[in-house]
Amino acid sequence: MHIMLNHRILSRFHEPLKARAQGPHTWLESFDWTPERISEAITGVEVFVGSHLRAEDARRAGRLRLVHVVGAGYDGIALDALGPQVSVTTTHHHGRSIAEHVLMSVMMLSRDVLGADRALRAGQWRNVAVDPQLPFGTTLEGRRVGIIGFGETGTEVARLCQAVGMRVRAVRRDPSAPVPQDLRTDWIGGNDRLPDLLAESDVVVVTVPLGPATRGLIGPAELAAMGPGALLVNVARGPVVQEDALYEALDTGVIAGAALDVWWSGPPQAPSRLPFHDLPNVLMTPHHSGHTTDTFAARALEIADNINRLEQGRPLTNVVRAGAATAT
């Protein structure tokens, strides 16, 4: 088959990917190609591996049978422009990596690591021994974490938070779905219990996918419900949280702080049109919470396995759109 690999990160794992994918496939690594070159080549492609596929390219891809998204979110794929024969699948394996990032971020905000680092680099000792006005940091044991969304990432966040003694509660679309046996939660409710979760949590972690129901989910009322001592961690998508409302809440002390790994725009633009970088209570990272060797090595193998299933006519895994020309 002709396979287009259009993903800069996954291309670093192209050797295990190609070794696992059986058959004499032709691989086109197009992550650094011009849009024009991609449009020309995609007419002969049967499998597209990547996170972004433009509508015009999807319409030109007459031989396409499978779009394999590199990750869980497929909002970058023009689904409506794909032919009816095309299946769309996803891959995950990021939950543990993102959960560790979440726990690290909460610890850094709880101990004001960024402020202490900035001060010491400037030659100032900044701790409670030399500054009696400085607030103490807090430990995590006994603090309450509220998780919005309870899929792979949410459950891994719960697992690590539980391990350090935090109390866990969550909201999700289906509150009756089974919970892993090793997790002990205060409660898990439907999305209608979001106000309860916000009011009862010291730390709120956003892990839901972006869609019509979640865009702008966290706004002024939700941030006010969290309270002035609460922390927000967003590892989902930037627009799940309202940009202006969050900046205002952080700037005026409506909430205590935030860790943001996802934003409202991407490179080469600035992450936000607002100066979050000027706020001392914000931890900023460039959407890299899931960028570990473990995540992408596992994704490469799973994508290769799905390519093998397609070649052999076997059912695909992680199907989000079933195509007429493939087994599902």
CATH number at residue 39: 3.40.50.720
Residues 273, 223 within the same domain: yes
Residue 325 confidence class, pLDDT cut points 50, 70, 90:
low
pLDDT tens for each residue of 223-270: 999 999 999 999 999 999 999 999 999 999 999 999 999 999 999 999
Residues 17, 118 within the same domain: no
DSSP 127-179: STTT-TTSPP----TT-EEEEE--SHHHHHHHHHHHHTT-EEEEE-S-TTS--
Residues 129, 88 within the same domain: no
Residues 230, 313 within the same domain: no
Residue 28 lies in a domain: yes
Chain Cα centroid distance, residue 248 = 24
Residues 33, 154 within the same domain: no
pLDDT value at residue 326? 61
Q: Which residue has the tokens 């799973």?
A: 302
Residues 215, 273 within the same domain: yes
Mean pLDDT over 98-108 rounds to 98
pLDDT value at residue 23? 83
CB 240 within 8 A of CB 218: yes
Residue 299 lies in a domain: yes
Mean pLDDT over 193-202 rounds to 98
Residues 188, 265 within the same domain: yes
Asked whether residue 327 carries a pLDDT value surpassing 60, the answer given is no
pLDDT value at residue 22? 85
Give start and end residues of each alpha helix (H) in 34-93: 35-41, 55-60
Q: What tokens appear for 95 in the block?
A: 């939950």
pLDDT tens for each residue of 1-51: 999 999 999 999 999 999 999 889 999 999 999 999 999 999 999 999 999
Asked whether residue 328 carries a pLDDT value surpassing 60, the answer given is no
Q: Would you give the end-to-end CA distance of the chain in angstroms?
A: 19
Residues 117, 265 within the same domain: yes
pLDDT value at residue 107? 98
Question: How many CA atoms are closer than 13 Å to the CA of 285, on its beta-carbon side?
Answer: 22
Mean pLDDT over 154-179 rounds to 97
Residue 328 lies in a domain: no
Residue 166 lies in a domain: yes
Residue 135 lies in a domain: yes
Q: What tokens appear for 91 in the block?
A: 């891959």
What's the mean pLDDT when you consider all of the chain?
96
Residue 327 lies in a domain: no
CB 101 within 8 A of CB 157: no
Residue 326 lies in a domain: no
Beta bridge pairs of residue 146: 169, 204
Residues 82, 226 within the same domain: no
pLDDT value at residue 253? 98
Residues 71, 129 within the same domain: no
- The residues, any chain, with a CB within 8 Å of residue 84's CB and separated by 6 or more, are 323, 324
Range of the domain at 87: 2-93+293-321
Residues 193, 279 within the same domain: yes
Mean pLDDT over 273-296 rounds to 97
Residues 68, 26 within the same domain: yes
Residue 236 lies in a domain: yes
- Residue 117: phi and psi, rounded to 5, are -65, -45
Count structural domains, the chain.
2
Asked whether residue 180 carries a pLDDT value surpassing 60, the answer given is yes
In one letter, which amino acid is 283? L
